[in-house]
Amino acid sequence: MRPTPAFGTGDPSAHTAVPTVTLHNGVVMPALGLGVFQSAPEETTAAVETALQLGYRLVDTAAAYGNEREVGEGIRRSGLDRSEVFIETKVWVSDYGYEETLHAFDKAAGKLGVEQLDLLMAQAPDVAVVPAVNQIELHPYFTQPDVQAANAELDILTQAWSPIGGITFYPGWGDQRVSVMDDSVLRDLARSHDRTPAQIMLRWHLQRGRSAIPKSTNPKRIAQNLAVVDFALADDELARIDALDRGVRNGPDPDIPRHRLFERVIPEA
């Protein structure tokens, strides 16, 4: 990884207020980005292009998502210079190992159409080297305070996937879940600030020092998810959201091996 230059040379009002975070190795990255997990390939290019034109400068993808090629095309269509976009992707489990990981980098870079990746993560990792970023399920109903504390102690940035609780209502991940979007506390705060519940959650993440990568292919929601830098939550409001934690995971448990899934072979570039 290397530090990226200033994020963007277009209309500065669109994106300069988006906060950045500095990783323990000195790399500077935007705190808010676009996630593309379960974005269909045919929708991914347009979503990435739209996001970057609106002012996003971070895109999160993964080899296992099957849409790295479309992410790269969206970046090219945006008209931005490569140095203006922070790209993060992930090595799948079947590509673990020294030589295998080097080859996984080549596969990812080839699909994305770039020579450099700003952040390369190991999916479902078990590592001896302290990472710069730990991406975990994190939303108001599942805040993982112990993991966050461990990350902070080791100077690891906590990055939230499912930051607005999408996993709590997305079909196919289990039963007896309640959508965080419908929570009365979040709706009350949204009314108070004339915002959406999603915007309240994203602002909560940023003020708590985390990175968040909300996923959407809807242009209106992509824009709304970025419009969270011009208001602030009070300390008591942050505490009200913190108190919503139920300690119940909604997505897959990383401590449970899924050998058949882990054996999936990632195609060549």
The Cα 61–Cα 59 span in angstroms is: 7
The Cα 59–Cα 70 span in angstroms is: 12
Residue 114: φ, ψ to 5°: -130, 165
Task: Residue count of the chain, please give it.
Answer: 269
Query: Does residue 180 fall inside a structural domain?
Result: yes
Q: Coil, helix or strand for 133?
A: strand
So what's the pLDDT on residue 172? 58
pTM of the model: 0.90
Domain total in the chain: 1
Q: CB 256: neighbour CB atoms within 10 A?
A: 7
So what's the pLDDT on residue 169? 66
Query: What residues make up the domain containing 129?
Result: 18-246
So what's the pLDDT on residue 124? 80
* Residues forming the active site: 65
Query: Does residue 3 fall inside a structural domain?
Result: no
Residue 207: φ, ψ to 5°: -70, -20
Query: Does residue 215 fall inside a structural domain?
Result: yes
Buried b (16+ CB within 10 A) or exposed e, 136-158: bbbbbbbbbeeebeebeeeebbb
Helix, strand, coil abundance in the chain, percent, nearest 5: 40, 15, 45
Name the amino acid, one letter, at 6: A
48-51-52-53 Cα dihedral, nearest 10 degrees:
120
- The per-type count for the chain, helices as H runs and strands as E runs, is 9, 9
The Cα 63–Cα 87 span in angstroms is: 13
* 134 touches 108 (CB < 8 A): no
Query: Does residue 154 fall inside a structural domain?
Result: yes
* 48 touches 89 (CB < 8 A): no
How would you write the pLDDT of the chain (269 residues) with one tens digit per residue? 333 333 333 343 444 478 999 999 999 999 999 999 989 998 999 999 999 999 999 999 999 999 999 999 999 999 999 999 999 999 999 999 999 999 999 999 999 999 999 999 998 877 888 999 999 999 999 999 999 999 999 999 999 999 999 886 665 555 667 789 999 999 999 999 999 999 999 999 999 999 999 999 999 999 999 999 999 999 999 999 999 999 988 888 888 877 777 788 899 98
* 55 touches 8 (CB < 8 A): yes
| Residue 148 belongs to domain with CATH number | 3.20.20.100
Query: Does residue 9 fall inside a structural domain?
Result: no
Query: Does residue 253 fall inside a structural domain?
Result: no
So what's the pLDDT on residue 173? 57
For residue 263, give every residue at least 6 positions away whose Cβ sits within 8 Å of its Cβ, in sequence order, or none. Answer: 94
Query: Does residue 219 fall inside a structural domain?
Result: yes
* 204 touches 214 (CB < 8 A): no
Which single residue is written with the structure tokens 């080859």? 103
Query: Does residue 251 fall inside a structural domain?
Result: no
